[in-house]
Amino acid sequence: MSPITDDRLEDLSNDEISRYSRHLLLPEVGIDGQRRLKAARVLIVGTGGLGSPIALYLAAAGVGTIGVADFDFVEASNLQRQIIHGTRDIDRPKTASARDRIKGINPGANVVVHNTRLDRENALDIFKDYDVVTDGTDNYQTRYLINDACVMLGIPNVYGSIYQFEGQASVFNAKGGPCYRCLYPAPPPPGLVPSCAEGGVLGVLPGIIGTIQACETIKIIIGGAGILAGRLLLFDAWEMKFRELRIDRDPNCPICGQNPTIHELVDYERFCGISLDSGEKPIDTITASELKMRMDRGDPLQIIDIREPHEQAIARFPGAKYIPLGQMARRAEEFDPRIDAVFLCKIGQRSIFAIRALRGTGYEGRLLNLKDGVNAWATEVDKSLPRY
């Protein structure tokens, strides 16, 4: 059943009939389905690797209102996979670039820009104006936020995620089916699953998964059969294999179960272990310029690079000792607590978890995190070093 009620349907103009004629020739879509697409309001959260194909194909399909929510700016490293943006868009807000590209494909589309970070304060207010939400995000805290907001508002959530060569897609909170929490009741420990920015991703992979999400969104709008509710589609691009898993609705799910315990949006950074617990000591940081000054002064320092060997081959940090994140706790005896230890990774995120792991052993020496990681060093200190 389509979420678009008949009273919202408008007739198609002759130009629209011509533009969408290949849809109209499909009995499963036809005039009625195309009118529903025209009346539909879809929110795309994230205009990156997944959001790009979702936005492009929904615009081409004739979705009448497309909301794009993002707060980031286009970077050169995005262009390997985020095909809605171009080289001349570097340093522009992603929502502005996406809006221009959507309008270029379909001038009749109404593009609503939400150039803001989605959080528990604004999510419900933004979501309430849409029929479907598509999740193009790359972090667990936002995925749980999207899920909970969609369940509370009764909106289908078209989910996708990617990492390196693997992707997955599903439709949550639709046709009485399960939600994201039914599949993943709790997030993984912080730092266990690197982001695409840290672990990499095959450029074409988000195109495949995002196109699947666009397809599911269209089917939901027109009331098509066979949507991915209760099913998790898994794809391995390296082996070129698809698999499918069944997902059952959890009667004990805290938000969509028989006796829900979540009645309002929560602190998702704390839920996912991103923010500090009360009483936890804050992590001290050092900028690239400050580190360079101390190195030039000859200060005794322990510089620890926790990046993977293939990352170090891209950009080597001078004088650093390599200790993998997973070995940090058992190699605590290699550190001298009398000497400041500086931890570094690509962007200063995984190194935080390395510091927490070392602290967990009872280590009492001073631990510093290189702010924004090796990329900051390449920007502020050694411009001959590549940013990646």
- The residue written with tokens 């602190």 in the block is 267
Residue 277's pLDDT band, with cuts at 50, 70 and 90, is low
Tell me, what's the pLDDT at 77? 92
Per residue in 225-248, pLDDT tens?
899 999 999 999 999 999 999 999
Mention every residue, 6+ apart, whose C-beta is less than 8 A from residue 102.
55, 56, 59, 66, 68, 84, 109, 111
Active-site positions read 196, 345
Q: Which residues pair with 276 in a beta bridge?
A: none
What is the DSSP secondary-structure string of 293-330? Answer: HHHHHT---EEEE-S-HHHHHHSPPTTPEE--GGGTGG
Tell me, what's the pLDDT at 370? 97
**Cβ-contact 71, 61 below 8 angstroms:** no
Query: In the CATH hierarchy, which top-level class contains the domain 284-380?
Result: alpha beta
* Residue of 235, 252, 254, 256 whose CA lies nearest to 244: 235
Percent of the chain with pLDDT strictly greater than 70: 98
Per residue in 329-354, pLDDT tens?
999 999 999 999 999 999 998 999 89
Indicate the domain borders of the chain. Answer: 6-271, 284-380
Residue range 46-56: mean pLDDT, rounded: 98
Residue 199's pLDDT band, with cuts at 50, 70 and 90, is confident
- Residues 230, 199, 213, 120: is their CA dihedral positive or negative? positive
Spatial separation of the C-alpha atoms in residues 105 and 101, rounded to whole Å = 6
Strand order in the sheet with 241-246: 110-114, 65-69, 41-45, 132-135, 157-163, 166-172, 231-236, 241-246
**Cβ-contact 210, 373 below 8 angstroms:** no
Which option is the CATH number for 6-271: 3.40.640.10, 3.30.70.20, 3.40.50.720, 3.40.50.2300? 3.40.50.720
**For 117-243, where are the alpha helices, taking DSSP H only?**
123-127, 140-153, 180-183, 196-199, 205-222
Tell me, what's the pLDDT at 198? 76
pTM (predicted TM-score): 0.85
Residue range 50-73: mean pLDDT, rounded: 98
Whole-number average pLDDT of the chain: 94
Per residue in 3-46, pLDDT tens?
999 999 999 999 999 999 999 999 999 999 999 999 999 999 99
Residue 266 predicted with pLDDT over 70: yes
**For 63-204, where are the alpha helices, taking DSSP H only?**
94-105, 123-127, 140-153, 180-183, 196-199
Per residue in 118-141, pLDDT tens?
999 999 999 999 999 999 999 999
Strand order in the sheet with 367-370: 284-286, 367-370, 341-344, 302-305, 321-322
Residue range 176-199: mean pLDDT, rounded: 86
Tell me if 6-271 shares its fold with 284-380.
Answer: no
Residue 281's pLDDT band, with cuts at 50, 70 and 90, is confident
- Range in 2-6, 109-113, 146-150, 196-200 with the lowest mean pLDDT: 196-200
Residue 373's pLDDT band, with cuts at 50, 70 and 90, is very high
**Cβ-contact 306, 354 below 8 angstroms:** yes
**Cβ-contact 350, 191 below 8 angstroms:** yes
Helix axes 51-61, 205-222, angle to 10 degrees: 40
Tell me, what's the pLDDT at 275? 66
Return the structure tokens found at 375.
């990329």
